[in-house]
Amino acid sequence: MLLSNLECYSILKMQSGDYLIINFAKNNIFLSLRLILTVFVTLLMISCKNEKSAENADLSVNSDQKSVVKDENEIKVVSYSFNEFEKLLYKEDDKLHIINFWATWCKPCIEELPSFQKIRKEYAHKGVELTLVSLDFPKQLETRLVPYIKKHNIEAEVVLLDDPKGNDWIPKVDSTWSGAIPATLIYDANHRKFYERSFSYDELKQEVEGFVN
């Protein structure tokens, strides 16, 4: 098709793959060029916005994944704020719950861990459940905590309590707790006891016996 000498055409390829044909008279070339520039900038902004939205979606997924660390041998450690963790302190069931607060850098803590693991195995048939609440530094979760769990074959549930507002949540665990570790909470549907101390195997067994018998 022949085009008039007084007319010019501009063809823009849209993001969708379609083509936009702009027809304008020569005496309006300056205004039409401004129109073309406006369309181009608009398309560019839409493209950038879509890319940013996709990027934010990826960041959202990554943020959720940070709460759980799982290595190739299926060792899983869930990271909780205290608000998320608090429900573990008040389970309403027929089990005896032992909640031990510890850290890999705490010598008395790691010295008593074998006793807790032994009690867990010996009293599993009586509904005893052990949760080890690590107060390790969050940045050392993968480099220190998970390797420690693997090396010492810890089979109990291990969670990381990642909440810097200790002055707020420590008294919520127990009003008498100074925050020192090791510390242990033992509770069932009817009784609840908190211990700011370390245990030998015999001492821990005596306490557990007081609950299950």
pLDDT at 7 exceeding the cut of 50:
no
Q: 137 CB contacts (<8 Å, ≥6 apart)?
A: 144
Give backbone dihedrals phi and psi of 47, rounded to 5 degrees, phi first.
-65, -45
**Structure-derived torsion over alpha carbons of residues 167, 146, 66, 132, reported in degrees to the nearest 10:** -40
| Mean of the per-residue pLDDT values of the chain | 79
pTM beyond 0.85: the answer is no
Residue 117 contacts residue 155 (beta carbons within 8 Å):
yes
Distance (Å, whole) CA 129 – CA 27: 85
Buried b (16+ CB within 10 A) or exposed e, 2-15: eeeeeebeeeeeee
pLDDT confidence tier of residue 110, bands split at 50, 70 and 90: very high
CB neighbours (10 Å) of residue 146? 21
Residue 63 contacts residue 145 (beta carbons within 8 Å):
no
In this predicted structure, which of 21-25, 57-61, 90-94, 122-126 has the lowest mean pLDDT? 57-61
Place of tokens 């899983």: 76
Percent of the chain with pLDDT over 90: 64
Using a 10 angstrom Cβ sphere, with 0-12 exposed, 13-18 middle and 19 or more buried, the burial of residue 207 is middle
Residue 107: both structure tokens together: 């010598």
pLDDT confidence tier of residue 119, bands split at 50, 70 and 90: very high
Residue 196 contacts residue 189 (beta carbons within 8 Å):
no
